[in-house]
Chain A
Amino acid sequence: MSQSHKDILKLEGVSKFYRTRGNRYRRGGGTVVALSRVNLSLRPGEIFGLVGESGSGKTTAGRLVVRLEEPDEGRITLDGVDITHLKGGGLRDYRRKVQMVFQDPYQSLNPQMTIADAVAEPLITNKVGDPADRLERVLGVLDTAGLSPAEDFIYRFPHQLSGGQRQRVAIARAIVLEPSLLVADEPTSMLDASYSAQIFEILQGVRDQMGATIIFITHSMAAARYLCDRIAVIYHGHLVEQGPAEAVINSPSHPYTKALIDATPKFGRCEGVPTYGTYLPAPRPAGEQAGCPFFQRCALAERLLCSATYPEWRQVAGEQVCLCHFAAEGGQSPPPPEECRLGG
């Protein structure tokens, strides 16, 4: 790709496996494939959405990007530098540039620390500035995070704040070192709508004013549409569609993307959004290991092909790409006739 030299972050064939112990219900234990051969490139200053349901591997992807964990396969580069297996000082430097905001604001802050101390901690750990500088920076980021007047908040403890306020403190803490990349892991899923609109505004501000690149993890297609320049849809650890947010949402190509759009509440506000009906209400028996990851749920699947063969990425339109045997330029081509589908 011609733009690859401009990419800030690149994931190439990244996989992550978790070993699980067996129990009575899951035979013999085994391996959970949390992320499978993921390829992603982020452009500087974009808000990139990673959309999928719970358990699809979104948090795992975030934790790999901020290097809280190491991938089992593949390579991650930041500004062209391989960070896949960084350790020690190199990793510390990397963590200054790449920060994460977690889903649960009730668990991400230390209850014993004042807001000022919590936000200043990364500065102290990294020996940035003297106490006066630090206080100034803390006040600055609290303000950016919509906690103003910041002076009213610095001596409070997390339990004295609402969930929305705590999440803004978590964002302030994540941006105090002016990271070039911020991973926001479902930052609004535990908050009321009135607060989530504020969080969206703050993230836009972090991008616009600080120039940070943002990975916005969400289960909401509508939130992704609102906030993101480009999105990737993830299903069971596999990316299945990627492209400009507007294109993927207005003319989805992958049957799973379509299912997510079908399931979004639309009450009266979404005239003209078609219904796709591509999601099997009850899963069909699994295909082969090497088959399409969506086979069990896909109403359009063709038994012989989809159960056995992993699809290739196909270009749908412009930068929109889709991991489906039936994806075709200009949208989804019709599945094969019924009699062909029943073979095998």
Chain B
Amino acid sequence: MALLKVENLSIGYRTAGGMLKAVDGVNLSLEEGRSLGLVGESGCGKTTIGMALMGLLPPNGSITGGRIVLDGVEISALDEEELRKVRWSQVAMIFQAAMNALNPVIRVSAQMTEAIRTHRPDMDEQAIMQRVEGLFNLVGLPLERLHDFPHQYSGGMKQRAIIAMALALNPKLIIADEPTTALDVIVQDQILKETKVLQEQFDIGIIFISHDISIVAEVCHDIGVMYAGQLVEAGPAQEVFFNSKHPYTRALVGSFPTLAGPKSKLTPIPGEPPNLIGAIPGCRFCDRCPKDTASCKLEPPKWQEINERHWVLCDHC
């Protein structure tokens, strides 16, 4: 049984201009201990999916269709009370370090013990403290910094603390939303490598959200490419990266420079993504697509099977 199944998920935000369809008909599936990278440019709906998996959509956002099933439990049907039991203990989220996921006026040790205490009334204070120290060792934070305030940490240390918090209750699924975007290259590289080791060691499922396909390709087993609220290509990382089918995926792969090989011209993607308020009849990418045909504008594209595990949402691939 898959650890996570997202079936035909649609999410809307009520806005002054009307309903904004942030996520539209997304299907995902994740086995225990596997990692799935969600990539796409900002505004394509990645964080919205992550928040829905945590049951943390903002008040103006709601699931308008489909369902989320985590380890056999339909979490999209749970009420807030039931969600609180699942959140952090079954599914945890790592936010961008820059997003101040840590409370600046509470010592890191207190924030971590508190998180464990709320969910584990069975554990005594000594056991909780031992757990926190274990987590510090796990993510490579020095124990003597345990009682610091978050602002005394560097960006990389903050991110390690956030990872430790996510691991605190042994969740089966971790959603990492741009976990290293605000970090320097060397620290980013260290944290990505360590996260990968932890994931394998504890058999955690990871959804890794990033706008950078080169990072996702390096850390994830599978990749899902999103565009304007839809999944447009999905498959094993190798396949999606080296045998990209969707014109958007190809453009993404071709849009960042590399360290070696010929300095081939990058492929900028002209134009801007569509407005997500209101109906979009045809393919969402057609305005920016080199393959754009008359039918693309009118008919929504259908999923094509490239092979058993590699799929693309395009009628002309």
Task: Decide whether A and B assemble into one complex.
Answer: yes
Chain A residues in contact with chain B, CB under 8 A? 25, 53-54, 162-165, 192-198, 200-201, 219-223, 225-227, 249-250, 259-273, 279, 281
Instruction: Select one of B212, B215, B257 contacting A226, CB under 8 A.
Output: B257
Contacts of A222 in B (CB 8 A): 256-259
Report yes or no: B259 in contact with A261, Cβ–Cβ below 8 A: yes
How near does chain A come to B253, taking the closest CB pair, in angstroms? 9
Tell whether, in the assembled complex, residue A267 and residue B217 are in contact, meaning their CB atoms are under 8 Å apart: yes
| A-B interface contact total, Cβ < 8 Å | 109
Segment among B25-33, B103-111, B265-273 that sits at the interface with chain A: B265-273
Chain A residue contacts of B255, Cβ below 8 A? 193-194, 196-197
Question: Knowing A53-B184, A219-B184, A225-B263 touch, does A269 contact B258 (C-beta < 8 A)?
Answer: yes
A interface, by DSSP: helix, strand, loop or mixed?
A: helix
17 CB contacts below 8 A, A to B, read: A162-B272, A192-B41, A195-B268, A196-B256, A197-B255, A197-B267, A197-B269, A198-B268, A198-B270, A222-B257, A225-B259, A263-B186, A263-B188, A263-B190, A265-B212, A269-B260, A270-B259
3 closest A-B pairs by beta carbon, nearest first, are: A226-B257, A263-B189, A194-B269
Binding site for A on B (CB under 8 A): 41-42, 152, 184-186, 188-190, 211-215, 217-218, 238, 241-242, 251-252, 255-261, 263, 266-270, 272
Contact yes or no, B185 A267, CB < 8 A? no
Decide if B218 touches A220 in the complex (CB within 8 Å): no
Q: Are A279 and B218 in contact (CB under 8 A)?
A: no
Cα–Cα, bound, A340→B259 (Å): 35
- Asked if B269 contacts A268 (CB within 8 A), the reply is no
Q: Is the CB of A265 within 8 A of B218?
A: yes
Q: Are B252 and A193 in contact (CB under 8 A)?
A: yes
Q: Assuming A53-B185, A194-B255, is B260 touching A272 (CB within 8 A)?
A: yes
Residues of B within 8 A of A270 (CB): 258-261
What is the distance, in angstroms, from A158's C-beta to the closest C-beta of chain B? 15
What residue in chain A is nearest B149 (Cβ atoms)?
A25
Given contacts A193-B212, A260-B185, contact A266 B259 (CB under 8 A): yes
User: Which residues of chain B are near A198, meaning CB under 8 Å?
Assistant: 268, 270
Cα distance A117–B72 in the bound complex, in angstroms: 58
Question: Closest approach, in angstroms, between the C-beta of A249 and any C-beta of chain B?
Answer: 7
Q: Do B218 and A271 touch across chains, with their CB atoms under 8 A apart?
A: no
Q: Hey, which chain B residues are within 8 Å of A25, CB to CB?
A: 152
> Which of A192, A219, A225, A279 has the largest number of chain B CB atoms within 10 A?
A192
Q: CA A269 – CA B254 in complex, angstroms?
A: 11
- Given contact pairs A192-B42, A263-B186, A200 touches B266 in the complex (Cβ within 8 A): yes
Within 8 Å by CB of B266, from A226, A249, A262, lies A226
Bound-complex Cα distance A58 to B248 (A): 34
| A221 touching B186, Cβ below 8 Å | no
Give Cα A197–Cα B238 distance, bound, in whole angstroms. 23
